[in-house]
């Protein structure tokens, strides 16, 4: 083995340890990908995307602006897994609908969900069930919700 071999190996390991993917380290150094895999087999790297872009970024912008989003709106279902890794995103499946919302926006998301259901009336029991699904404790304002949505 030549000194060049050890230098290249050290360089590849340093790049991967610095956060580059093994494929990128292979491209930068000109070393075959299979060799890079062999040289870095003992190293753990981040798999998958470590950034938010494209459709996921669009979904995140909408989540931040409104506080919630429904599954049929923009294809959030595919972005949910990535968003959940980096942000406090929650999901509620109910009445054949899925609503995603950021932690702290439970009440806003629940009220949007009730508007989207477009019900004529709802019992206190059903409202309690919906409230629990969103993780909201019973508040005295439940009567106001009933009055506002179901006149």
| pLDDT > 90 fraction of the chain, expressed in percent and rounded | 5
Q: How many CB atoms lie within 10 A of CB 124?
A: 12
pLDDT tens string 35-57:
999 999 888 765 555 566 777 78
- Residue 125 or residue 135, greater confidence: 135
pLDDT value for 149: 61
Q: Is 134 exposed, middle or buried (0-12, 13-18, 19+ CB in 10 A)?
A: buried
Domains of the chain: residue spans and CATH: 3-39 (no CATH), 54-149 (1.10.10)
pLDDT tens for 20-34 read: 788 888 888 899 999
Give the residue with greater pLDDT, 147 vs 131. 131
Angle at 12 between CA 7 and CA 15, to 5 degrees: 125
Q: What is the pLDDT of residue 82?
A: 78
**Best CA proximity match to 25, nearest among 6, 9, 49, 2:** 9
């Amino acid at each position: 083995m030549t000194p060049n071999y050890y230098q290249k190996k050290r360089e590849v390991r340093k790049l991967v340890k610095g956060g580059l993917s093994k494929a990128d380290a292979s491209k930068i150094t000109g070393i075959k990908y299979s060799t890079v895999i062999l040289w870095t087999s003992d190293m753990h790297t981040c798999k998958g995307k470590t950034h938010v872009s494209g459709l996921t970024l669009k979904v995140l912008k909408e989540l931040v602006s409104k506080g919630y989003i429904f599954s049929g709106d923009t294809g959030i279902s595919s972005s949910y897994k990535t968003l959940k890794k980096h942000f406090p995103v929650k999901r509620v499946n109910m009445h054949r609908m899925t609503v995603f919302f950021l932690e702290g926006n439970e009440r806003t998301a629940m009220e949007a969900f009730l508007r989207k259901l477009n019900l004529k009336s709802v019992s206190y029991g059903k409202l309690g069930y919906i409230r629990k699904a969103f993780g909201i404790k019973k508040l005295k304002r439940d009567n106001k919700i009933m009055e506002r949505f179901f006149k």
